[in-house]
């Protein structure tokens, strides 16, 4: 009950923040569980502060249990019939119907209430404050359970839930307030969470900081393979991303027909001819080349598969070599995901796959061969679960790109990024992300941390540049973001 009191107080504080001084009419819609209990506490505290508060209960008061029943008994204000609630008499509505643990779609009276709330808010411009999550948002996945209100603010407790960061839930939460209600942080040791918000605190300790005694070879050498003369741009974007993200050296390997085109556009980035898998094998005989990007603008088919196979050969390699597979490299393995899994299993270092939703579907579901244990085909799973199941099944770190990009590792860890602005959805942005990822791998970051950091840097660079962004702007804006992470006077 002490936690519920603190939760209700946090909701009351947010309501008071949102309402102007001449508006004090509040309606609290309370559900049959602890979420409803939070609503009754918030209503009681607001009433004590002088607000005009009306509560309404979905369900029968006789069925309330535990703390929710205690909170209801302490309420001594108006209790309206929820079937005839008049939203037009409210300046603000508290949505305390259902929390993050909702396990079924809203229907009947609950759905009707949500639809009435949304119509009222849309018509009047008045705010909804959601308790924990907007009712109807699945806290574990962010998916919509039939319907949900569009909140101006959502007050949640202790830690965020995936549904706060993933769409469509994130778009329905409005401003998210994370309230400390007294739960000690050491309970995380018992919970052992495997899902994380993708922020620097997650991977900062592994982030490479240049040393005063370092040199270019100590910061890794990234090799980017490009396609033919008419498809070189994507590979150059990856290469530019890699060198901006800190790789000490970057080499572009391209067919001879494309060498002159690449040379006309690149200065700090080296060039080497590469037409065949044998050429690539000879290039990789230099073991200092410790990260490879394959796929952007490379072309589809057997040649791409053969080049990927060479990039994943050990071939006497005495050190680790990482591989980022993107775009055409992923689609080239559509229908043979088992073959790709076997190559990854034998690779001399971590492999990171960077699909968007379309590439993910083509790779993992084109023939239905990749199964996720008892759950069946990964296509039927929610987005977070799909990424996690696919990473485990194929044995590689997966960056499932989108407005809520997920990084999933074979060991079950996953991060969710929520910092990507809308203008990051532009041609070539994914190619730059592949370069960022490879550069961090080349500098020794573990795969999960490197992929998560690359995704965060990608989003922050786009935010720093602003509207009008094109892919070429991302590497050039990255130094502004890196200054937040790399201290001056590195030693």
Name residue, tokens 């009351």. 12
Residues 432 and 452 in one domain: yes
The CATH number of residue 441's host domain is 3.40.1190.20
- The residue range of the domain holding 406 is 200-485
Residues 420 and 461 in one domain: yes
Point out the domain boundary residue: 123, 156, 191: 191
pLDDT beyond 50 at 373 = no
Point out the domain boundary residue: 191, 212, 229: 191
pLDDT beyond 90 at 29 = yes
Q: How many angstroms separate the CA atoms of 438 and 46, rounded?
A: 53
Q: How many angstroms separate the CA atoms of 475 and 429, rounded?
A: 10
Residues 344 and 423 in one domain: yes
What pLDDT, in 10s, does the model give residues 185-203? 999 999 999 999 999 999 9
What pLDDT, in 10s, does the model give residues 340-371? 999 999 999 999 999 999 999 999 974 444 55
DSSP for 153-204, written as a single string: EEEEESS--HHHHSTTHHHHH-EEEEE--S--TTHHHHH---EEE-SHHHHG
Q: Locate all alpha helices (DSSP H) within 333-428, ordered by sequence.
A: 337-345, 357-365, 383-394
Q: Of how many residues is the chain composed? A: 491
State the DSSP H helix or E strand holding residue 80, giving kind and residue range, or none if neither.
Answer: strand 79-80
pLDDT beyond 80 at 372 = no
Residues 333 and 375 in one domain: yes
Q: Are strands 322-325 and 351-353 parallel, antiparallel or unpaired?
A: parallel
Give the residue-averaged pLDDT of 248-270: 96
Residues 172 and 207 in one domain: no
pLDDT beyond 90 at 284 = yes
| Tokens coding 9 | 């107080």
b/e string for 15-40 if b means 16 or more Cβ within 10 A?
bbebbeeeebebbbbbbbbbbbbbbb
Give the pLDDT band (50/70/90) at residue 374: very low
Which letter does DSSP use for residue 61 in this model?
G
State the DSSP H helix or E strand holding residue 11, giving kind and residue range, or none if neither.
Answer: helix 2-18
Going by C-alpha positions, the residue among 163, 148, 33, 25 that lies closest to residue 86 is: 25
Residues 230 and 272 in one domain: yes
Half-sphere exposure of 189 (CA within 13 A, CB side): 3
Q: Are strands 289-294 and 322-325 parallel, antiparallel or unpaired?
A: parallel
DSSP for 420-456, written as a single string: --GGG-STTHHHHHHHHHHHHHHTT--HHHHHHHHHH
pLDDT beyond 70 at 440 = yes
Q: What torsion do the CA atoms of 464, 325, 382, 338 make, to the nearest 10 degrees? A: 180
491 located within any domain: no
The total number of structural domains in the chain stands at: 2
Name residue, tokens 């490197």. 450
Give the residue-averaged pLDDT of 305-324: 93
Spatial strand order of the sheet with 249-254 comes to 195-197, 414-416, 406-408, 397-400, 351-353, 322-325, 289-294, 221-225, 249-254, 270-273
8 A C-beta contact, residue 228 and residue 253: no
Give the residue-averaged pLDDT of 318-345: 95
95 located within any domain: yes
What pLDDT, in 10s, does the model give residues 81-93? 999 999 999 999 9
| Tokens coding 400 | 């499932």
Name residue, tokens 């696919």. 390
Name residue, tokens 């469509």. 168
Residues 308 and 362 in one domain: yes
Going by C-alpha positions, the residue among 451, 452, 458, 455 that lies closest to residue 475 is: 458
Residues 350 and 383 in one domain: yes
Residues 213 and 131 in one domain: no
Residues 215 and 187 in one domain: no
107 located within any domain: yes
CB atoms near residue 207 (< 10 Å): 18
8 A C-beta contact, residue 48 and residue 8: no
For the chain, the first-to-last Cα distance in angstroms comes to 51
- What residues are paired with 271 via a beta bridge? 252
Residues 436 and 324 in one domain: yes
pLDDT beyond 80 at 388 = yes
Point out the domain boundary residue: 191, 223, 239: 191
330 located within any domain: yes
Q: What torsion do the CA atoms of 215, 217, 222, 227 make, to the nearest 10 degrees? A: 100
Residues 165 and 211 in one domain: no
Q: Are strands 406-408 and 414-416 parallel, antiparallel or unpaired?
A: antiparallel
Give the pLDDT band (50/70/90) at residue 328: very high
Reading phi first (left if > 0) and then psi (alpha if -120 to 50, else beta), residue 182 is in left
The CATH number of residue 68's host domain is 3.40.50.10260
Count Cβ atoms within 10 A of the Cβ of residue 460 and give its class: 0-12 exposed, 13-18 middle, 19 or more buried.
buried
Q: How many angstroms separate the CA atoms of 71 and 459, rounded?
A: 43
490 located within any domain: no
| Tokens coding 284 | 């990789």
Q: What are phi and psi of 172, to 5 degrees?
A: -95, -10
Give the pLDDT band (50/70/90) at residue 378: low
Which pLDDT score is estimated for 379? Answer: 58
């Amino acid at each position: 009950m002490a936690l519920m009191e603190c939760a209700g107080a946090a909701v009351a504080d947010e309501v008071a923040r949102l309402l102007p001084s001449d508006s004090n009419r509040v309606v609290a819609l309370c559900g049959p569980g602890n979420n409803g209990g939070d609503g009754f506490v918030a209503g009681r505290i607001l009433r004590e502060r002088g607000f005009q508060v009306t509560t309404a209960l979905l369900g029968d008061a006789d069925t309330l249990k535990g703390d929710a029943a205690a909170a209801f008994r302490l309420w001594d204000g108006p209790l309206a019939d929820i079937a005839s609630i008049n939203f037009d008499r409210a300046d603000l509505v508290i949505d305390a119907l259902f929390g993050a643990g909702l396990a079924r779609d809203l229907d009947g009276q609950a759905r009707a209430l949500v639809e009435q709330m949304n119509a009222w808010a849309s018509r009047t411009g008045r705010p909804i404050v959601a308790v924990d999550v907007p009712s109807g948002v699945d806290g574990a996945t962010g998916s919509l359970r039939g319907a949900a209100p569009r909140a101006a603010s959502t007050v949640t407790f202790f830690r965020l839930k995936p549904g706060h960061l993933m769409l469509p839930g994130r778009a329905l939460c409005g401003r998210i307030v994370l309230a400390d209600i007294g739960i000690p942080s050491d309970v995380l040791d018992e919970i052992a969470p495997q899902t994380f918000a993708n922020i620097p605190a997650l991977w900062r300790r592994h982030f490479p900081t240049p040393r005063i005694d370092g040199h270019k070879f100590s910061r890794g050498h990234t090799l980017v393979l490009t396609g033919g003369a008419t498809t070189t741009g994507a590979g150059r974007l990856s290469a530019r991303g890699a060198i901006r993200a800190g790789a000490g050296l970057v080499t572009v390997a391209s067919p001879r027909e494309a060498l002159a085109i690449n040379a006309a556009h690149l200065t700090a980035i080296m060039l080497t001819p590469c037409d065949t898998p044998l050429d690539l094998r000879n290039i990789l005989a230099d073991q200092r080349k410790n990260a490879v990007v394959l796929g952007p603008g490379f072309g589809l088919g057997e040649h791409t598969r053969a080049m990927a196979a060479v990039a994943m050969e050990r071939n006497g390699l005495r050190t680790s070599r990482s591989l980022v597979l993107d775009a055409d490299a992923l689609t080239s393995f559509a229908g043979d995901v088992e073959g790709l899994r076997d190559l990854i299993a034998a690779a001399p270092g971590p492999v990171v796959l960077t699909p968007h939703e379309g590439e993910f579907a083509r790779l993992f579901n084109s023939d239905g061969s990749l199964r996720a244990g008892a759950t069946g085909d990964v296509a039927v799973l929610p987005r977070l679960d799909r990424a996690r199941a696919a990473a485990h099944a194929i044995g590689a770190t997966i960056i499932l790109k989108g407005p809520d990009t997920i990084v999933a590792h074979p060991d079950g860890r996953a991060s969710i990024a929520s910092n990507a602005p809308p203008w990051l959805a532009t041609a070539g942005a994914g190619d730059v992300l592949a370069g960022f990822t490879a550069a961090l791998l080349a500098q020794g970051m573990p795969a999960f941390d490197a992929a998560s950091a690359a995704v965060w840097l990608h989003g922050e660079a786009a935010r720093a540049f602003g509207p009008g962004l094109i892919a070429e702007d991302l590497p050039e804006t990255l130094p502004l973001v890196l200054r937040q992470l790399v201290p001056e006077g590195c030693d």
